Amino acid sequence: MATVEINDLAKRYRGTQALRGLNLRLASGCVTGILGENGSGKSTLFRILAGVTRPTRGQVLIDGLRIGVDTRRITAYLPEVDAFYAWMSIEEQLEFLASFYPEWDQAKARELTQFMKLKGEAKIGELSKGQRARLKFIVAFSWPSRLILLDEPLGGIDPPSRARIMRAMVQEFRAEEQTILISTHLVAEIEEFVEQVVFLHDGEVALQGNADALRTDRGESLSQMLEEVLS
């Protein structure tokens, strides 16, 4: 179970200010939705948390640790675009990945492959976008990571795949051990699944809180809140 602490986090790419001094404390053992339009800074935040890119300013602590080898060891990061090898079969890809994770659970990977209705012998290059998204999910949940970063896991995939992924997420999420951050602009898909929400707009926090508490206060759905944040 990981606590994430973000202090005055800023990131500037050539000419673009992706994050403008974020301050956040994300509770452990819960699912937080990072919600916002494309370009709001969601992916940049995830890349920093995953240790793929460095911030221009500010600090991030995961369980009190600065981003580095120790945090990468407990973090499962699923980028929007996967890095699977087209020529491998699903089974080969999973075995290959298993060698990177000391705590990889092969039985779990098999069980999830079955649940996701994927065939181990299928070649990755021949999978649909939805099937690849399901495979990404298997990778994230086949080892006991403490922090799971799901960047746009539902974008551009067919509704049955989305439904399958959401179902698996409800089943597999271990609140006592894991913290999940899920970024998406498809807010309606995750209304029932996120407990905490952070709305990002133009690299800044526009609104945040407990999803049900915000619904009580505002009488709105998270989708409606996002629309308001954008206007």
- Candidate list 23, 119, 158, 170; residue touching another protein; CB under 8 A: 170
Window 40-79: residues binding another protein (CB under 8 A): none
* Shortest Å, Cβ 215 to another protein: 5
Residue whose CB is less far from another protein, 94 or 198: 198
Window 6-45: residues binding another protein (CB under 8 A): 29-31
Window 107-166: residues binding another protein (CB under 8 A): 166
Q: Where does this chain touch another protein (CB under 8 A) — which range of 2-10, 63-71, 78-86, 205-213?
A: 205-213
| HEC sequence for the chain | CCCEEEEEEEEEECCEEEEEEEEEEECCCCEEEEECCCCCCHHHHHHHHHCCCCCCEEEEEECCEECCHHHHCCEEEECCCCCCCCCCEHHHHHHHHHCCCCCCCHHHHHHHHHHCCCCCCCEHHHCCHHHHHHHHHHHHHCCCCCEEEEECCCCCCCHHHHHHHHHHHHHHCCCCCCEEEEEECCHHHHCCCCCEEEEEECCEEEEEEEHHHHHHHHCCCHHHHHHHHHC
Total residues contacting another protein by CB under 8 A comes to 26
- Candidate list 88, 122, 193, 201; residue touching another protein; CB under 8 A: 193
Q: Where does this chain touch another protein (CB under 8 A) — which range of 37-45, 66-74, 87-95, 171-179?
A: 171-179
Residues lying near another protein in the complex (CB under 8 A): 29-31, 166-167, 170-171, 173, 175, 188, 191-195, 211-213, 215-216, 219-224
